[in-house]
Structure 1
Amino acid sequence: MLSCECKSLEYCPLFIQVSLFNLKHIRHPGSFFFKKTIPIHRSLRIRRNTNMKLEQIIKERRSIKRFKDQPVPLETIQSLLETSTWAPNHKMTQPWRFVVVHGDSRVKLAEATRAFMAGKEKDPSKKKEAGQRGYNKLNGVPMFVAVIMEENPNLMTREEDYAATSALIQNFSLLAWEQGIGMIWETYGMIHSQEFREALGVKPGEKIVGSLHVGYPDMIPTPRPRTPIDELLTIMD
């Protein structure tokens, strides 16, 4: 059993870092009663902690599918995107642009998803139900950040641009996590549909590299093991 002397769960470094050690409980005076035992559930909560080291952020980051019903400040996302663009980018093509969808505008994407899912369902009697499921799934996301890349006619440059844009998304993911904001990088089939592209204003010659679902986590999944590096590494002397 560990004990913590800080007064609030919100910025408790022990509460944030305890997930690294597979611990069952901690004692925290910021709970309802002093020294009450707080269970560390599989759905851990993250708190904003700008003192986290990069290694810790990388290892603790998770793909988030369930969000709180709480808006994310637009100015925060703009700032994170600004920093994220400092990704390695050969020839500085900077092929990216972004579309942020939040508030009532989310209905546009939800309706586009409804149309896509209904059209995908082969059973006519199930089309309406399938469309509604797609609508509900997207309408419950607090914010979308569509990362859009210009597709360079030169295939080598296009491949390099895709790699750079992917690095930008990883930057954004880690920066958001540092601020207590979660996301999942989605590449579902509907990003290629005409309805979805039109809803986002995607032009011919542009590719949606990711539809990022962004918000404050309501549940954080437990980590899945990675393959040890010594099983993947070849050293040539």
Structure 2
Amino acid sequence: MSIAKVIRERRSIKKGYKPDAVPEELVLELLNDAVYAPNHGLREPWRFVFVPSEKKEAFVEKLITVYPPETHEARREMYNQPAAYLIVIMKEDPRQKQWEEDFSAVCALIQNFQLLAWERNLGVVWKTNAHNWDPKAHQILGVAPGEKIVGFLHLGFFDEKDVPEARPRTRAEEKFTRFE
């Protein structure tokens, strides 16, 4: 399959995950390719917290405590849908240029991971919910001062018949100018 085809056909899988466990070995295999994302000075500013399928329920029970009690049941239902989680954390450099380079590198790594996962029928959606910035969630995940959660990746295998339709994209020509 061509790279262009994979890029155009990849979808965020937000629901309809199969109950199949997501093997840690597969996540590591995908990450070991994804880390080839461009990153200035090979700073590799990322680290990962994997929540395997067999630990997901306990994780969800801790995560929902970040939210008001009246929302726990809805959050529990939502967060139990994926089969597993991969939380991507970056070291925050106090220098703006390096921070932006590092954030861009982590985003490129996440996109690499999504494309590699798609090739293996592992659905991914990259989430940036309110808990990404919540100190209680940071404590649950061991996020240290000077670190940032870039995304919660919801993971799960999917049935090809449940893949969402492509949504239209604006053609590049409509956002393209030429320096004169």
3-state SS of paired residue (2:6): helix
Aligned twin of 2:46: 96
Q: Deviations over 1:74-118 (max 9, x none)?
A: 111101001100011111111101111013322343123322232
3-state SS of paired residue (2:11): coil
TM-score under structure 2 length normalisation: 0.92
- The aligned amino acid for 2:116 is L
Aligned twin of 2:63: 113
For residues 190 and 75 of structure 1, what CA distance do their matches in structure 2 show?
27
Query: Are 2:163 and 1:220 aligned?
Result: yes
3-state SS of paired residue (1:203): coil
Judged with a 3 Å threshold, the aligned counterparts in structure 2 of structure 1 residues 195 and 105 are, in CA distance, closer, same or farther, namely farther
Query: Are 2:180 and 1:230 aligned?
Result: no
Q: How does 1:129-148 map to 2 (within 5 A)?
A: 130-148=71-89
Judged with a 3 Å threshold, the aligned counterparts in structure 2 of structure 1 residues 223 and 173 are, in CA distance, closer, same or farther, namely same
CA RMSD of aligned residues (A): 1.4
Query: Are 2:149 and 1:208 aligned?
Result: yes
Pairwise CA distance, 1:225: 0.5
- Does the 8 Å CA contact 1:151/1:206 hold for their aligned counterparts? yes
Aligned twin of 1:47: none
Aligned twin of 2:4: 55
For residues 191 and 109 of structure 1, what CA distance do their matches in structure 2 show?
15
3-state SS of paired residue (1:165): helix
- Does the 8 Å CA contact 1:84/1:169 hold for their aligned counterparts? yes
For residues 129 and 58 of structure 2, what CA distance do their matches in structure 1 show?
17
Q: Deviations over 1:49-87 (max 9, x none)?
A: xxx211111000011111111112211110100110001
- The aligned amino acid for 2:61 is E
> Which moved further from structure 2: 108-117 or 57-66?
108-117
3-state SS of paired residue (2:114): helix
- Does the 8 Å CA contact 2:51/2:85 hold for their aligned counterparts? yes
For residues 199 and 226 of structure 1, what CA distance do their matches in structure 2 show?
38
Aligned twin of 1:18: none
Unmatched runs of 5 consecutive residues or more in structure 2: none
Amino-acid identity (%): 40
Q: How does 1:1-237 map to 2 (within 5 A)?
A: 52-66=1-15, 67-118=17-68, 127-128=69-70, 130-218=71-159, 219-236=162-179
- The aligned amino acid for 1:93 is R
Pairwise CA distance, 1:203: 1.2
- Does the 8 Å CA contact 1:69/1:142 hold for their aligned counterparts? yes
- The aligned amino acid for 2:29 is S
3-state SS of paired residue (1:185): strand
How many residue pairs get aligned? The number is 177
Pairwise CA distance, 1:140: 2.5
Q: Deviations over 1:7-48 (max 9, x none)?
A: xxxxxxxxxxxxxxxxxxxxxxxxxxxxxxxxxxxxxxxxxx
- The aligned amino acid for 1:169 is I
Where relative contact order (Cα < 8 A, 6+ residues apart) is larger, the structure is 2
For residues 108 and 196 of structure 1, what CA distance do their matches in structure 2 show?
14
User: Which has the larger share of helix?
Assistant: 2
- The aligned amino acid for 1:226 is R
TM-score under structure 1 length normalisation: 0.71
